[in-house]
Amino acid sequence: MRKALRTIAMLAFLAAIGLSGFKLWEISTRTADEAAVKREMSGYRPQMPEVQSARSQAGGGAANGTAALRHEEPGPQYNQGIIDMQNEVNSDIVGWLAIPNTRIDYPFAIASDNDYYLGRNLYGKQAASGSLFVDFRNSPDFTDFNTVIYGHNMKDLSMFGELRLFANIDFFLENTSGVIFLEDQTLKLEIFAYMVVQASDSMVYSISPEQDRFYDYVSKNAGNYREPSARGQVVTLSTCSYQFDSARAVLLAAVV
C-alpha cells in the first residue's frame, strides 16, 4: 500500500514538473513570437521628420559640423507606414500610438466588436497579448469626443502594462505627452489624468459625453490629474487593473 502511494506521489510530482516545464516553454515561445511581431511591425512605424534648422541651412550649424535638427510639424505625408500596414498586413489597422519613456509604442486596429483583438495579433493569429484596439463604437478617424483604446496589462509590461507607471505622481508629472499617427494626420496628446475605475464606468467609457461634465468628473475622481491646456477631444487608454473586481486603469490625454 505504502509503495503504491509512493509511486502515485512520484508520478504526481513528475507530472507537476512536466506541466511547469511546458508552461515555461509556452511562455518563452509566446514571448518570442510576440517580440517577432513587434520587430516586423517596427519597420512600418511613422516618424516625426527631422529637418535642418534655418540657421544650419544658412551655414551656421554646430561647431562639430553636424546640422542642428528640429522636429517639423507632422502632416499626412509622413504616415505612409500606416497605409502600408493597412495594405500589406491588415486593413483593420488604424494607426500607431507612442508614449515616450514607456514601452507603449504599437500599432492599433479596430474590429466590429471589442473581443476580436483581445486574443489576436495584428495578423489575426492567436496571441495571448492580443493587440491594441479602438472601441468598436468609435470612428477610426478620431472624430469622436472620446476615443477609447484598449490593451492588455501584461506581466512583462508589454502592451499596456506600463500604464501603471502613471500611478506614480513623479512619473505622471514628468511625462506629459504622446503621439498618435493616423494615415492622414498626426495627433499630439497631452496627458492629463490617471485613474482606476469600474469597467462599467459610464462617463469614462462614453464616446460622446457632455464635455464639461466629463472633464469635471475626471478632475474629481482621478488619482493623478493636471488641468490640460485646452478641454478638447480626448483619447482614453484602458487596461485591466487589480485593485478590486472589474477594475480598469485608464490614462487620459487631450488631443492638442
Element (H, E) at 189: strand 186-198
Per-residue pLDDT band for 5 (boundaries 50, 70, 90) equals: low
Which band of pLDDT confidence, cut at 50, 70 and 90, is reported for residue 38?
confident
Instruction: Say if residues 164 and 202 touch (Cβ distance below 8 Å).
Output: no
The region of weakest confidence among 20-24, 34-38, 118-122, 207-211 is 20-24
Q: Where are the domains of the chain?
A: 1-42, 46-72, 79-255
In this structure, of 74-88, 140-154, 212-226, the range with the lowest mean pLDDT score is: 74-88
Number of residues that this document lists for the chain? 256
Spell out the residues 6+ positions from residue 124 whose beta carbon is closer than 8 angstroms to its own: 90
Instruction: State the pLDDT at residue 66.
Output: 38
Confirm whether pTM is higher than 0.85: no
The three cell numbers of residue 147 are 476615443
What is the reported pLDDT for 139? 97
Please, where are the H alpha helices in the chain? 2-42, 54-57, 80-88, 169-174, 211-221
User: C-alpha angle 79/85/90, rounded to 5°?
Assistant: 140
Helix (H) / strand (E) element for 237: namely: strand 234-240
Mean pLDDT of the chain: 84
**Mind listing the pLDDT tens digit for each residue in 50-108?**
544 333 444 444 444 334 444 555 555 569 999 999 999 999 999 999 999 999 999 99
Higher pLDDT, 66 or 201: 201
With beta carbons less than 8 A apart as the criterion, state whether 55 and 68 touch. yes
Q: So what CATH class is 79-255?
A: mainly beta
What does the alpha-carbon distance between residue 249 and residue 157 come to, in Å, rounded to a whole number?
14
pLDDT value for 213? 97
Instruction: Look up residue 72 and give its DSSP letter.
Output: P
Q: What percent of the chain clears pLDDT 70, i.e. is strictly above it?
A: 75
Residue of 205, 207, 200, 192 whose CA lies nearest to 244: 200
At 8 the pLDDT is 63
Interatomic CA distance for residues 93 and 14, integer angstroms: 45
Average pLDDT on 113-138 reads 96
pLDDT for residue 36: 84
The mean pLDDT value for 164-186 works out to 96
Mean per-residue pLDDT, 218-239: 97
| pLDDT grade for 35, boundaries at 50, 70 and 90 | confident
- Contact of 123 with 93, CB cutoff 8 Å: no
Q: Which amino acid is at 167?
A: A
Model confidence at 164: pLDDT above 50: yes
Phi, psi of 77 (to 5 degrees): -70, -15
Integer CA distances (angstroms), 217 to 202, 222, 244, 250, 255, in order: 11, 8, 20, 14, 18
Q: 30 pLDDT band (50/70/90 cuts)?
A: low
Alpha helices in 104-179 (DSSP H): 169-174
Read off the pLDDT band of 7 (50, 70, 90): low
Query: Are the C-beta atoms of 161 and 102 separated by less than 8 Å?
Result: no
Picking from 250, 99, 240, 242, the residue whose alpha carbon sits closest to that of residue 108 is 99
Longest dimension (CA), the chain: 93
Q: What is the mean pLDDT of residues 215-231?
A: 97
The helix (run of H) or strand (run of E) holding residue 178 is: strand 177-182
The pLDDT assigned to 6 comes to 65
